[in-house]
Structure 1
Amino acid sequence: SYSSAEFVGLERRSDDRLHADVKVTMKNTGIFTDHRIINLSSGGLFIGTDRPLRLGTQVELTLRFDDPERVMTLRSSVIWENSLEDGKNPMGYGLRLSALRAEERDFIQQYVRRTKKP
């Protein structure tokens, strides 16, 4: 099982805006892409955290990719939550990315395709 601290730092930047700093690595890509409801390649991602977030909360994301190295800062909003640690899925939230440029979407899709386990 993954500790959320391994790959995401979540901090409050202002009253209603959070910032999540996500290190996307070969090891944790599966957390994003294996989740059936939404995944990184379809314009969203899952972040594992036990911090309470309300649906609709705006989250500014910094995604740090390891190979190839790239940093993206994107806007997102919380669209669903998994509030129970059930052994299969960690507690956390599904975020939908907003205002993603075509080039950013392509990069994420190619990254996910490359790092997905067969």
Structure 2
Amino acid sequence: MPPEDPPPASDRRQVDRLPIELRVEYRRLNSFFADYTKNISKGGTFIRTAKPLPPGTEFVFVLIIPKLEEPLRLNGEVVWTTDPSRATDEQPAGMGIRFKYLDDAERRVTEDIVERLVKEELGGHISERLLRAAKPTDPK
């Protein structure tokens, strides 16, 4: 399957992404881009953009999160893209990003921020249910 076609959801991620839109900023070559996420999880996000970076590209981006004094700066890798010519309402143009953590401490901090964000955006009862369902299963 070509990398510009998003693989089935079961092949893409271990944790479900939740429908939260955030402003995201990043650079490509000498240009600055500001787009929006379509969804987010503790392990990655989908960035809606008409100019996705090529799969395999590693880059630094910032998420603008309400109620945080500073943007959340993360490393990510483009795992798959949807070209604008193939975009649909269900699968808009953009790129699926896997967060690349420098260490376990950065992973924990990011996961805590995403969990708080989900609770604030979706409310306590709904977020608890979604976060419980989104936890990776123990392979034992």
TMscore range, shorter length: 0.5 to 0.7
- The alignment yields a C-alpha RMSD, in angstroms, of 2.9
Larger radius of gyration: 2
Q: What letter corresponds to residue 91 of structure 1 in structure 2? A: A
State the aligned residue count: 97
| Structure (1 or 2) with the greater strand fraction | 1
Deviates more, 1:50-59 or 1:66-75: 66-75
1:113 maps to: 119
Answer yes or no: is 1:12 the counterpart of 2:34: no
Q: Which has the higher contact order (CA 8 A, sep 6+)?
A: 1
| Structure (1 or 2) with the greater helix fraction | 2
1:37 maps to: none
* TM-score normalized by the length of structure 1: 0.65
Deviations 1:21-46 (A, max 9, x none): 566xxxx6xx21xxxxxxx2231001
The 1:61–1:21 alpha-carbon spacing in structure 2 relative to 1, beyond 3 Å, is farther
1:87 maps to: 89
Q: What letter corresponds to residue 105 of structure 1 in structure 2? A: E
What 5-or-longer segments of structure 2 have no aligned partner? 1-21, 127-140
Q: Is the Cα contact below 8 Å between 1:20 and 1:59 reproduced in 2? A: no
Q: CA deviation at 1:101?
A: 2.9
What 5-or-longer segments of structure 1 have no aligned partner? 1-5, 33-39
Query: Using the alignment, how far apart are the partners of 2:98 and 2:115 within structure 1?
Result: 15
The 1:116–1:69 alpha-carbon spacing in structure 2 relative to 1, beyond 3 Å, is farther
Q: What letter corresponds to residue 114 of structure 1 in structure 2? A: E
* TM-score normalized by the length of structure 2: 0.56
Deviations 1:49-84 (A, max 9, x none): 111421110121111111344411110000111222
2:9 maps to: none
Q: What letter corresponds to residue 11 of structure 1 in structure 2? A: R
SS at match of 1:60: strand
Identical counterparts, % of pairs: 25
